[in-house]
Structure 1
Amino acid sequence: MGRMTQTNTADPAGEGMPRWEQRFRAPRVSLPEWAEDAPSRSLFVSNATGTYELYTWDRESGRQIQATDRPNGTTDGTLSPDGEWLWWFADTDGDEFGVWKRQPFTAAKGDGAKEAVPGLAPGYPAGLALGRDGTVVVGRSTDEDGSTIHVQLPGGEPVEIYRHRESAGVGDLSHDGDLLVIEHTEHGDAMHSALRVVRLDGTLVAELDDTEGGTRELGLAVLGFAPVTGDSRLLVGHQRRGRWEPMLWDPLTGEVRELAIDLPGDISAEWYPDGGALLVAHSHHARSELWRYDFDGTLERVDTPPGSVSGATARPDGSIEYLWSSAAEPPVVRSTRGAVVLDPPGLRAPGSVPVSDVWVEGPGGRVHALVQKPAGEGPFPTVFDLHGGPTWHDSDAFAAQPAAWVDHGYAVVRVNYRGSTGYGREWTDALKHRVGLIELEDIAAVRAWAIESGLADPERLVLTGGSWGGYLTLLGIGTRPDDWAVGIAAVPVADYVTAYHDEMDALKSLDRTLFGGGPDEVPERFAASSPLTYVDRVRAPVYISAGVNDPRCPIRQVENYVGRLAERGHPHEVYRYEAGHGSLVVAERVKQVGLELDFARRHLPDTGR
């Protein structure tokens, strides 16, 4: 189908480059998004130049253009329904605070890009919807205003139609542009959204709220309006039976139809372009697969290899394009027509070793972990690599960082602790009030298994992770100081009270939900869950990397923690870089992983094993 033609600055053969570095530098592409009314026009993200940027692709001519070119990269963008315009979000050096810009589909490297909604002040993005007549709906949040939604009609100025202190955002705009659905958490539970459908002047049409005013922990998610003019049905994700499932809601008639799809895990879905069926994504026990669901109840499996499908879309010709990978095999965009959809040039990422599944009895139920190990016999030096989120999960998907540890002789264990998605609503919602401490109980249970099974050398255990995983790393080496030989935390929460005061407003709402209030209301809970509380108990050498523009885990709270380590004279290293919550620059990411590998090598004890 398509082959990228951009110049690749990486060494095409990877000569002289370690395999772990090749995995980061090898060009990758995202699943292409296509314009609803011009399906030959597509948009995707690639790191082909060494920085993740947006690319447009005209499938009829085969022409691909690097559409954005910014020092710290660009990944947040979409096409107008007619495919004539690319919209992309412009922040400053990864701080996630900015404005939407618009440029012609055929423009290269930001040429002709202009502020898309003049007069609308910068903010954190909270959804965008584009109508066929030129209507624009923009969701944004700021610390001063909370969540706001603005509508700009063709030829008009942006008009605010929604405002609330709690988090909210744009869900979707109906195909004919008459109805707008808003996801909101006005009831105060930032983990479980309710839905409100309004006209474009803000007039209420209907409400759908499974939380019963916040008394029930049930959430809803917008999956999209029917892609047919005159069809007001909205596809909605719900949790009424303890997991994510789709249902249909018509806000004009009030009719709700739950769809009986007999699959054991979490189920998401999107419309086929003609509105006659659903493309179902089924996630279960760290793997995923695709199905076609017809509204007569017929469910048909879409043939995909074992592993993980991280994105899929049904095309107007009936084919399905999907982004697939496994822990052993790098990602590729495939089509059910049997072709590779996009084939990046240059260096090919080496594969890695497959994962094995481990189930361990924990204090809150069976804990699922994924294990990769190098050649040879254990016990191995072992890395516990903790995922972020916390509402996320590790899966049988390709990940360059765990593969790098395996290349260096480490076993890698990834734990889907309580708080992770993919194991039912109760598992995801279990971490409230004892934040961080609950997850560490599950990690401790898997750690005990790893030692007892002979996999892990108890004297050479590394605890690491990024974002929420970085937070758990610092909390873990403080609350369980004898368990870990080294701690490596990327963009972590280190001082929870300071992080709360400095973070973006939407995350304040999430923290109030997790803790049952803010730090002034439940100070004892914040203290119990803050790594800073336990910093003087830390024994393991500590490595921390942090983005100086990070709005999620701000730099001041990291400096507070590092200052306490320095006061003690405790061995630690800190790497600060000019970006936000992680970097989109490949060379920067390679540098960071190299520093982490080197830190572990220098500080792990040599047991002679």
Structure 2
Amino acid sequence: MTAEPTASPALSPEVTARWQARFRAPRVSLPDWAQDAPHRNLYASDVSGVVEQYAWDRETDVHRQVTDRPNGTLIGTLSPDGETIWWFADTDGDEFGIWMTQPFPGGPDAVAVPEVGPAYPAGLEVGRTLVAIGRSTDDGSELWLAPHGGTPRVIYRHTDPASVDALTQDDQLLVISHSEPGDPRYPALRVLRTADTTEDAPAVVAEKWDGEGLGLHALEFGPLPDDRRLLVSHERRGREELLIWDVEADTETEIVLDLPGDVTAGFYPDGSALLVGHDHAARSEIYRYDLATGALEKLDTPPGVVRGATARPDGTVELAWSSSQLPPVIRRADGPVVLSVADEEPPAAYPVEDRWVAGPGGDVHALVVRPDGPAPYATAFLVHGGPESADDDSYRARRAAYVDAGYAVVHVNYRGSSGYGSAWRDALTGRPGLTELEDIAAVYDALLAEGFLDRERVLLTGGSWGGFLTLLGLGTQPERWTAGIAEVPVADYLAAYEDEMEGLRAYDRALFGGSPEEVHDVYVRSSPITYVDAVAAPVLVVAGANDPRCPIRQIDNYLEQLEKLGKDHEVYRFDAGHGSLVIEETIRQVEVALAFALRHVKP
């Protein structure tokens, strides 16, 4: 038993250099461009070793670092005229802060709207004549309007989650999402007239709610000067689909596409077509949908995952793409690389194989990666967070590091994952954690029967919700796991609920069926600390001191119980929030995790 990580058998210098090179290879996000000055772009990159915001003038090809903070800057956007950069200033990854501005050519930072106090961000829409800002605190949500040269005012306030979502090109209409029907997972939409809306007298233009269990998400308004078309994501047929809502006429047109997976979209700049993203079975495709003819044209992209795509004013499409083997690239759909900050390509990684396994709630999709050599393998189950997320066929440096170290890797898109329909995503309601672990167990059993894994050498690991599932799995399925690594996890759900940000408390109330006061036993049943006595495997816990999502006190509660019970455990703490934007810190965390794995689960 130890409180801090100890030394471990080292990987060879060649293997160590290879996995670290994947993390150190600089990455960039898909550039955001100013609507009225499309040559002015903003992107995030870790080229400095820390994720920061960068300005890029395409006419001069000049790149400039905008922010420079010890723990990085993740969120930024541009004003429509391209003159001003907006970026969010939190403290050491705690996600609580204020919006700052900086001139695009460079200059001093300024507090964007001093009247809007520090909070968790809940949307930002920067218009030509005003700005809409959403903020969330322990008291709930506030939405503000700040006219240029005018007095900022609160236009909406509620104890449940709400956000600013989209603004018309002429700044006259703003759409907000809200949770007044009762479940923040399935928001409703409200359109407000910005000129005269106030908190006490909202100028409501239109409302839309699809009913219990059916969410609506505003994607964007049409790009024309007087456009009143709002592109909306709905799930009326059990998956994410599209509709266009004319908010002034209050009429809608569903976009019915013959595609099996979830879809999202954005307008082409001339407003005549949609750029459609389609996610299905851990891969992505993109399409052009002609609004006049209904023609759907597939754009030619390699197999893999598209993390974002945008149509430029000249009609070209740019996207962020990677595959399990090939690293991320910002490229045009027709091939040419648009933006790269790396001097050389990082090492290639490993292909994933698909598995479909019969589970208690339906077929479970898993992805597996084989190391060199024959089966059965020492195996690492890398469990994704969210839970409304999914593992896919994208480039993952962490996955590849485990394979480099000699492990097979298994990803399970358990019930609760996104991309497999609404019913699959919502199936864990009322029984979170235990539901997902049933699906993980089904995949485990199938791979054991296949001879893929060695049951004496199986690691369970994940971050955030995946860390929660790791600790819960170690306590409820101790016979399955040789060791566990839980990164930034929920460990004591009652304490986590008390300390986490209000938006997550609202999410938990919906997921569990109420607050801990209302459904205490449900929280206890799904809390890892309930089962700490049964933990038999050594466990490593990685925790962020400033984490607002999985706060440190509830992790310490769990660690204290491990210590009291004499359980074999280690802990690694870092001075940031829900993960780190500092590359060397991330590498250090992976080093600690691999060292722990190599000591307890021999490849």
Per the shorter chain, which TM-score range? Answer: over 0.9
Secondary structure of the structure 2 residue equivalent to 1:583 = coil
Check conservation: 2:27, 2:342, Cα contact below 8 A.
Answer: no
Check conservation: 1:185, 1:194, Cα contact below 8 A.
Answer: yes
After TM superposition, give the deviation of residue 44 of structure 1 in Å: 0.7
Q: Deviations over 1:468-504 (max 9, x none)?
A: 0000000000011111000100000000000001000
Aligned counterpart for 1:545 among listed residues 542, 546, 549: 542
What does 1:246-285 align with in structure 2 at a 5 Å threshold?
246-285=242-281
Partner AA of 2:122 in structure 1:
A
After TM superposition, give the deviation of residue 132 of structure 1 in Å: 1.2
After TM superposition, give the deviation of residue 15 of structure 1 in Å: 8.7
Cα distance in structure 2, aligned partners of 1:169 and 1:158: 17
1:589 and 2:586 correspond: yes
Cα distance in structure 2, aligned partners of 1:398 and 1:138: 34
1:205 and 2:205 correspond: yes
Displaced runs of 4 or more, over 6 A: none
Cα distance in structure 1, aligned partners of 2:163 and 2:174: 11
Aligned counterpart for 2:325 among listed residues 322, 325, 328: 328
**1:157 aligns to what?**
151
**1:63 aligns to what?**
62
Aligned counterpart for 1:240 among listed residues 231, 236, 241: 236
**2:335 aligns to what?**
338
Check conservation: 1:22, 1:347, Cα contact below 8 A.
Answer: no
Q: Deviations over 1:368-416 (max 9, x none)?
A: 0001111111111100000010000111000110100000110000000
Cα distance in structure 2, aligned partners of 1:63 and 1:520: 56
**2:284 aligns to what?**
288
After TM superposition, give the deviation of residue 593 of structure 1 in Å: 0.3
Partner AA of 2:307 in structure 1:
S
Secondary structure of the structure 1 residue equivalent to 2:573 = strand
After TM superposition, give the deviation of residue 160 of structure 1 in Å: 0.2
After TM superposition, give the deviation of residue 346 of structure 1 in Å: 2.6
After TM superposition, give the deviation of residue 345 of structure 1 in Å: 2.9
1:143 and 2:138 correspond: yes
**1:406 aligns to what?**
403
Alignment RMSD: 1.1
Check conservation: 1:30, 1:44, Cα contact below 8 A.
Answer: yes
**1:194 aligns to what?**
188
Secondary structure of the structure 2 residue equivalent to 1:499 = helix
After TM superposition, give the deviation of residue 191 of structure 1 in Å: 1.0
**2:439 aligns to what?**
442
Cα distance in structure 1, aligned partners of 2:219 and 2:147: 24
| % identical aligned pairs | 57
Q: Deviations over 1:153-179 (max 9, x none)?
A: 111221000001110101110111000
Secondary structure of the structure 1 residue equivalent to 2:427 = helix
**1:92 aligns to what?**
91
Cα distance in structure 1, aligned partners of 2:342 and 2:289: 36
1:112 and 2:108 correspond: yes
Check conservation: 1:27, 1:347, Cα contact below 8 A.
Answer: no
After TM superposition, give the deviation of residue 340 of structure 1 in Å: 0.3
Q: How many residues align?
A: 584
Cα distance in structure 2, aligned partners of 1:347 and 1:562: 42
Q: Which runs of 5+ in 1 are unaligned?
A: 1-13
Secondary structure of the structure 2 residue equivalent to 1:439 = helix
After TM superposition, give the deviation of residue 336 of structure 1 in Å: 2.8
Q: Deviations over 1:283-311 (max 9, x none)?
A: 00000000000012100000000011111
Deviates more, 1:57-66 or 1:17-26: 17-26
**2:369 aligns to what?**
372
Cα distance in structure 1, aligned partners of 2:377 and 2:151: 62
Deviates more, 1:249-258 or 1:438-447: 249-258
Aligned counterpart for 2:476 among listed residues 461, 470, 479: 479
After TM superposition, give the deviation of residue 347 of structure 1 in Å: 4.3
Partner AA of 1:205 in structure 2:
V
**1:300 aligns to what?**
297
**2:3 aligns to what?**
none
Q: Which runs of 5+ in 2 are unaligned?
A: 1-12
With the length of structure 2 as denominator, give the TM-score of the two structures: 0.96
Secondary structure of the structure 2 residue equivalent to 1:584 = coil
Cα distance in structure 1, aligned partners of 2:294 and 2:165: 27
Aligned counterpart for 2:161 among listed residues 164, 167, 173: 167
Cα distance in structure 1, aligned partners of 2:15 and 2:279: 39
Q: Deviations over 1:228-269 (max 9, x none)?
A: 111101000000111001100011111010012111100101
After TM superposition, give the deviation of residue 337 of structure 1 in Å: 4.3
Check conservation: 1:27, 1:348, Cα contact below 8 A.
Answer: no
Aligned counterpart for 1:181 among listed residues 159, 169, 175: 175
Partner AA of 2:533 in structure 1:
D
Q: Deviations over 1:39-89 (max 9, x none)?
A: 001111111110011101000000000110000001100000000110000
Cα distance in structure 2, aligned partners of 1:448 and 1:338: 42
Check conservation: 2:352, 2:367, Cα contact below 8 A.
Answer: yes
Check conservation: 2:15, 2:404, Cα contact below 8 A.
Answer: no
Partner AA of 1:332 in structure 2:
V
**1:529 aligns to what?**
526
Cα distance in structure 2, aligned partners of 1:345 and 1:329: 14
Partner AA of 1:245 in structure 2:
E
**1:565 aligns to what?**
562
Cα distance in structure 2, aligned partners of 1:588 and 1:217: 40
Check conservation: 2:301, 2:334, Cα contact below 8 A.
Answer: no
Cα distance in structure 2, aligned partners of 1:92 and 1:462: 34
Cα distance in structure 2, aligned partners of 1:392 and 1:170: 22
Secondary structure of the structure 2 residue equivalent to 1:431 = coil
Aligned counterpart for 1:387 among listed residues 360, 384, 393: 384
Partner AA of 1:269 in structure 2:
A
After TM superposition, give the deviation of residue 353 of structure 1 in Å: 1.0
